[in-house]
Amino acid sequence: MKKRLIMQIGLVVLLIVISIFLYRIGKGFQLIVENKNYTLGDVVYEAEGPVRVTFDDEIQLDLKKNRADLAILVGYGKHKIKVEVLDNNGNTIRTVEKTFSLSGKEGDLVSIPALLNGSDKWIFRRNVT
Amino acid sequence: MKKREAKFTIKRFLMTNIVPILFILLSAFAIPISQFSANYLIQEMLIRLARNSFLVLSLLIPIIAGMGLNFGMVLGAMAGQIGLILITDWKILGIPGMALAAIIATPLAIALGWMCGTILNRAKGREMVTSYILGFFVNGLYQLVVLYFFGYLIPIRSPELVLSRGYGIRNAVNLLGIRNCLDYFIPVTIHGVKVPLGTFIVIAIFSAFIVWFRRTKLGQDMRAVGQDMEVARSAGIAVERTRLISIVISTVLAAYGQIIFLQNIGTLNTYNSHEQAGMFAIAALLVGGASVAKATLPNVFVGVVLFHLMFVVSPMAGKYLIGQAQLGEYFRVFVSYGVVALALAIYEWRRAQERAYARRMFRGEA
C-alpha cells in the first residue's frame, strides 16, 4: 500500500516536471524587430537597409529601412539571430550573428541598427505607455 | 444443447454488413456525380483519417467491456478542450503545446470518466442512453466553467481569448500555434498528396496498444464482463471496477482524440466542438460495420473512410444532381443520425431474435 502511494506520488511529480519542461521548450514569445533609427543616450544609430533577419536558422524577415515586423520565438534559453545587410540587388554586404536570451516576458524589441553598430543594448523590453 | 451453426450464407453476410454495403453503394453512386478528382478525394480521406481515427478508436474499449457505444466520450472531448484553451492562453506552441494540453486534460478526463463509470455501473443495461444524457449534463458544467470561471476564477491573460466583459472565453479560439503540428511533424508528399504521417504514427501506436491490451489480464477481464457479467463475477472478476476502468480509459483517450482532431482543424469552437464529437465518431464506427456489442480495428478505419467520403462527396453530388449543395448537407446530417438509429435497431432486432431462439432451445423446439 505504501509502495503504491509512493509510486502514485512519484508519477504526479514526474508529470509536473514534464509539464514544466514542455512549458519551457514550447513557450512562444512575440518579438518586435525594428529597423528604424534608434537613439541611446547621445548616440543615434542610423537604420541601414534593406536587411534580412534570421532567427534560429528558421524564421526569416526581410525589412526595408524604417520598417518593423514581428517574429515568434519558441522556448526559453538561447536564441540565434543573423542579420544580413543587403544591397539593392539583394546581395549580402555584411553579416552579423549573435546569440541572446529573451526577458521571458512579452514585448521584447530588437533594434537592428543598434545590433549592427555593436551596441550592447540592442534587445530590450519595450516600455508600453 | 445443440450448437448454433455459424454457416456462411449471403443473407447472413448482408445482414451483418448491411450498413457498410449501403455506404459503399451510395459512394459508388455519388463519387462520379460529384466530379471530384482522385487526388482530391485521396487527400481529403487521408486528412480525415488522421483527424478522426483516434476519437473513433477511443470507443473500442467500452464495447469490449460490454458497455456499448460510449456517448460519454464528449466528457473527454471537453477535458481536451480545456487543456487547449489553457495552452493557447499560455502561448505554448507546437508539439510541446499539444503534449501539455494532453497532460492538463488527463486528470480532468480521469475524474469525468470515473464519475461517468460510477453512474453507468448503477445503470446497467441502459449505458448508452445514460451516457448520452450525462454528456448533456456535463456540457452544462463545461459551459459554466468556460463562460463564467475562465477569466474570473481561472486567470486568462490573452485579450484574444476573453470576452469583452472581462471573463468567459470567446466563441472561437484560434489554434494557430499548434495547427497541423503533429500531422506534418514528418513532412511527406506523394504525387502532390500531403500525408499526415505524424498523426498516422500515433494512431498506429494506439492501434497496437489496443491489440496488446486485449491480450492483457485486464483486457481478458473486460471481454469476460462484456460476454456475461454474472459469469464474470462468479469467476472472481471485479465487474464494476473493470467497467469503470474501461470508461476511464475511453474518456482519457477521447480527450487525446479531441486534441488531435482540433490540431488538425486549427480552430476551437469553444461551445460546440465537443457536441458532435461523440455522435460523428459513433456513426463512423457503425458505418464501418461495428455493432453495439462488437467492434474491431478494421471497423474503425473502414468506417472513417466511408463516412467521411459521404461527407465530402454528398454536397457536390447534391449540387450536380439537383442543383442544390444544401441538399447534400441535409443528406449527410440525415445519414449520420440515421445510421446510428439503424445500427441500434438492427442490434435490438438481433437480440430479440437471439432471445427467441434461446427460448425455443429451452423448450426443445429448435
pLDDT at B1: 46
pLDDT at B349: 82
Helix, strand, coil % over all residues of chain A, rounded to 5: 25, 45, 30
Cα–Cα distance for residue pair B341/B339, rounded to 1 Å: 5
Find the helix or strand (DSSP H, E) in which A13 lies: helix A2-26
Could you tell me the domains of chain A? 28-125 (2.60.40)
pLDDT at B366: 59
Mean pLDDT score, B251-266: 96
CA B85-B187-A75 angle, to 5 degrees, is 45
Task: Inspect the interface and report whether the beta carbons of B90 and A23 lie closer than 8 Å.
Answer: yes
Check pLDDT > 60 for residue B228. Answer: yes
Q: Which of A15, A26, A29 sits opposite B96 (nearest CB)?
A: A26
| Residue A12 burial class via C-beta count within 10 angstroms: exposed 0-12, middle 13-18, buried 19 and up | exposed
Find the helix or strand (DSSP H, E) in which A98 lies: strand A92-101
pLDDT at B268: 94
pLDDT at B75: 95
Cα–Cα distance for residue pair B218/B249, rounded to 1 Å: 12
Task: Inspect the interface and report whether the beta carbons of A28 and B91 lie closer than 8 Å.
Answer: yes
Amino acid (1-letter code) at residue A103: S
Optimal mutation site among A12, A25, A30, A70, interface B, most CBs of chain B within 10 A: A25
Q: Minimal Cα–Cα distance from A74 to chain B, Å?
A: 7
**Whose grid coordinates read 491489440?**
B211
Cα–Cα distance for residue pair B302/B220, rounded to 1 Å: 25
Check pLDDT > 70 for residue B2. Answer: no
Mean of per-residue pLDDT scores for chain B: 89
Cα–Cα distance for residue pair B306/B110, rounded to 1 Å: 32
Task: Inspect the interface and report whether the beta carbons of B91 and A22 lie closer than 8 Å.
Answer: no
Check pLDDT > 70 for residue B278. Answer: yes
In the Cβ-directed half-sphere of B123, how many Cα atoms lie within 13 Å?
17
3-state SS string over chain B? CCCCCCCCCHHHHHHHCHHHHHHHHHHHHHHHHHCCCHHHHHHHHHHHHHHHHHHHHCCHHHHHCCCCCCCCHHHHHHHHHHHHHHHHHHCECHHHHHHHHHHHHHHHHHHHHHHHHHHHHCCCCCHHHHHHHHHHHHHHHHHHHHHHHECCCECCCCCCCECCCCCCECCEEECCCCCCCCCCCCCEEECCEEECHHHHHHHHHHHHHHHHHHHCHHHHHHHHHHHCHHHHHHCCCCHHHHHHHHHHHHHHHHHHHHHHHHHHHCEEECCCCCHHHHHHHHHHHHHCCCCCCCCCHHHHHHHHHHHHHHHHHHHHHHHHHHCCHHHHHHHHHHHHHHHHHHHHHHHHHHHHHHHHHHHHHHHCCC
pTM, whole model, 2 decimals? 0.89
CA B92 from chain center: how many Å?
A: 27
3-class SS of residue A19: helix
Is the Cβ–Cβ distance between B75 and B116 less than 8 Å? yes
Taking CA atoms, what residue in A is nearest to B92? Answer: A27
Domain boundaries, chain B: 10-363
What is the grid cell recorded at B354?
437471439
What is the grid cell recorded at B232?
464474470
pLDDT at B4: 52
Reported as a single tens digit per residue, the pLDDT across A23-67 is 999 999 989 999 999 888 888 888 887 999 999 988 889 999 889
Task: Inspect the interface and report whether the beta carbons of B92 and A72 lie closer than 8 Å.
Answer: no
pLDDT at B348: 79
Out of B6-20, B44-58, B95-109, B168-182, least confident range: B6-20
Reported as a single tens digit per residue, the pLDDT across B41-64 is 999 999 999 999 999 999 999 999
Amino acid (1-letter code) at residue A35: N
Q: Please indicate whether residue A1 or residue B1 has the higher confidence score (pLDDT).
A: A1
Find the helix or strand (DSSP H, E) in which A52 lies: strand A51-55
Find the helix or strand (DSSP H, E) in which A94 lies: strand A92-101
Architecture of the domain made up of B10-363: Orthogonal Bundle (1.10)
Reported as a single tens digit per residue, the pLDDT across A84-128 is 999 888 888 889 999 998 888 777 899 999 999 888 888 888 765
Is the Cβ–Cβ distance between A45 and A113 less than 8 Å? yes
Cα–Cα distance for residue pair A108/A124, rounded to 1 Å: 6
| Residues of B with Cβ-Cβ distance to A13 under 8 angstroms | none
What is the grid cell recorded at B92?
505554448
Residue B157: CB atoms within 10 Å: 11
Range 38-97 of A in CB contact (< 8 A) with B = 72, 74
Binned at pLDDT 50, 70 and 90, residue B5 comes out as low
| ipTM computed for the complex | 0.85
Cα–Cα distance for residue pair B61/B243, rounded to 1 Å: 10
| Residues of B with Cβ-Cβ distance to A25 under 8 angstroms | 96
Q: Minimal Cα–Cα distance from A118 to chain B, Å?
A: 32
The answer for residues whose C-beta is within 8 angstroms of residue B188's C-beta and 6 or more apart is B194, B195, B197
pLDDT at B96: 96
What is the grid cell recorded at B298?
478494421
Residue B17: CB atoms within 10 Å: 13
Length of chain B: 366
Is the Cβ–Cβ distance between B233 and B254 less than 8 Å? no
Is the Cβ–Cβ distance between B124 and B229 less than 8 Å? yes
Taking the Cβ of residue A27 and every Cβ of chain B, the question of whether any pair is shorter than 8 Å is answered with yes
